[in-house]
Amino acid sequence: MERSNLIRKHIFSSPYPPDAVLITHPNNIRYATGFTGSSAFVLLTPVRKYFFTDHRYETQSRSQVAGDYNFVFYQARVIREISKIIKRNRIRQLGMELEQVSFSFVNNLRKEACVRVLDISFEIMKMRSLKSRDEVLLLKKALRIAENAYSRIRSLVKPGVREDRIALELECRMREMGAEDKSFPTIVASGRNSAMPHAAVSRKNIKGNELVILDFGARYNGYHSDITQTLKISNKNKLLEKAYQTVRECVDMAREYIRPGCSTREAARQADAHIRKSGFQDGLIHSLGHGLGLDIHERPNISLNKDDEFREGMVFTIEPGIYLPGIGGVRIEKTACLSGKDLVLWNRI
């Protein structure tokens, strides 16, 4: 779907707009134009749109890129080609996603095109945080694929089965159900391994009386899902049982303090306070959640360290966790969206 006109309207109507916008990050280009290739640049002025790519993508770009673009297929240095267009349009101030482009690229372009560069990273990601109806449908599809795949392999999570076998089976099922790929390296962490929030899958056999964390997701048409389940394998450890109950309570509490206009930092603070009040003094050691979309981590960042604002149309995860080194860990991750004034959880498992 072509959204470059929305980007132009948003950027060029700001109080101090740049003369043009150069989009360089592949997912921002996909968001703006629908192009899925790995090499492209988009230059937007108030009246013209330019799409730069090399000849490998000529057929693909003409097929995928919607709208009234001027196509530039380069063979030499792309900075030279972009600079020619910048000079032709008398652009003096250029907006770029400085958080997502190399210093050398920016520096070379600044010199060759004789432009001043402004950072528009925040504006682009702010737009991407509000999902359209089409994006919501793709995110839900990615979630359903992951959930259905999990349901197929759930019975495999039992004593005597290796972590890496479970991860492989889960990824195969997601592919069979239509996923382009997994969203990120799948985590299957049992026993003491579950005390590490980002444990690597090992060849360890699951044992009885352990907790097992499964963290996984599917990518569908570019959009990501992210689920974490914690399974109790005949667990009788009272401390881990209390941790499990506390984490579930944090997820349930989210409906009380997540509303449009509310602070993401305050939401994380509420979860952190509940965990500490329950006797786990390390509190919330990672973010409470994150936005989902073309990237696995997008706005909003629901964290004690960063403050954002919840807005209607955002889709994000809620993933509180408690980790007890040498014993085990608990994390539960659900996907939610803000619809009207309500927080709606999408998960069926």
What is the extent of the structural domain holding 18? 4-128
Residues 38-97: pLDDT tens digits? 999 999 999 999 999 999 999 999 999 988 999 999 987 899 999 999 999 999 999 999
Do both 122 and 246 map to the same domain? no
Do both 146 and 24 map to the same domain? no
Mean local confidence (pLDDT), 291-318? 97
Residues 176-186: pLDDT tens digits? 999 999 999 99
What total number of domains does the chain contain?
2
Question: Would the pLDDT of 188 be above 90?
Answer: yes
Question: In the chain, how long is the greatest CA-to-CA distance?
Answer: 72
Residues 135-156: pLDDT tens digits? 999 999 999 999 999 999 999 9
> What pLDDT does 76 receive?
79
Do both 202 and 170 map to the same domain? yes
Structure token digits, residue 143: 């979630």
Which of 84, 106, 128 is the C-terminal boundary of a domain? 128
> What pLDDT does 14 receive?
87
> What pLDDT does 233 receive?
82
Looking at residue 120, which CATH number applies to its domain? 3.40.350.10
Mean per-residue pLDDT of the chain? 96
Which of 128, 151, 170 is the C-terminal boundary of a domain? 128
Query: What is the rounded distance in angstroms from the CA atom of residue 330 to the CA atom of residue 244?
Result: 6
Task: Give the residue with greater pLDDT, 341 vs 121.
Answer: 121
Do both 96 and 139 map to the same domain? no
pLDDT-derived band at 24, boundaries 50, 70, 90:
very high
Mean local confidence (pLDDT), 277-284? 98
Q: pLDDT > 70: what percent of the chain?
A: 99
Question: Would the pLDDT of 209 be above 90?
Answer: no
Do both 82 and 218 map to the same domain? no
Question: Would the pLDDT of 2 be above 80?
Answer: no
Mean local confidence (pLDDT), 102-124? 96
Do both 14 and 66 map to the same domain? yes
Do both 318 and 333 map to the same domain? yes
Do both 307 and 164 map to the same domain? yes
Do both 141 and 102 map to the same domain? no
Do both 14 and 84 map to the same domain? yes
Do both 109 and 140 map to the same domain? no
Mean local confidence (pLDDT), 251-263? 95
8 A C-beta contact, residue 99 and residue 184: no
Query: What is the rounded distance in angstroms from the CA atom of residue 106 to the CA atom of residue 153?
Result: 47
Query: What is the rounded distance in angstroms from the CA atom of residue 222 to the CA atom of residue 36?
Result: 9
Burial of 280 (0-12, 13-18, 19+ CB in 10 A): buried
**Cβ within 8 Å of residue 256, ≥6 positions away:** none
Q: Give how far Cα 89 sits from Cα of 68, 93, 156, 161, 268, Å.
A: 17, 11, 61, 63, 46
Mean local confidence (pLDDT), 289-296? 98
Do both 182 and 140 map to the same domain? yes
Q: pLDDT > 90: what percent of the chain?
A: 93
Which of 89, 109, 128 is the C-terminal boundary of a domain? 128
> What pLDDT does 341 receive?
86
> What pLDDT does 75 receive?
85
**Is there a cis peptide before residue 300, judged by omega within 30 degrees of 0?**
yes
8 A C-beta contact, residue 86 and residue 94: yes
Looking at residue 149, which CATH number applies to its domain? 3.90.230.10
Residues 226-241: pLDDT tens digits? 999 999 887 678 999 9
> What pLDDT does 1 receive?
57
Query: What is the rounded distance in angstroms from the CA atom of residue 89 to the CA atom of residue 115?
Result: 12
Report CA torsion sign: 246, 251, 253, 258: positive
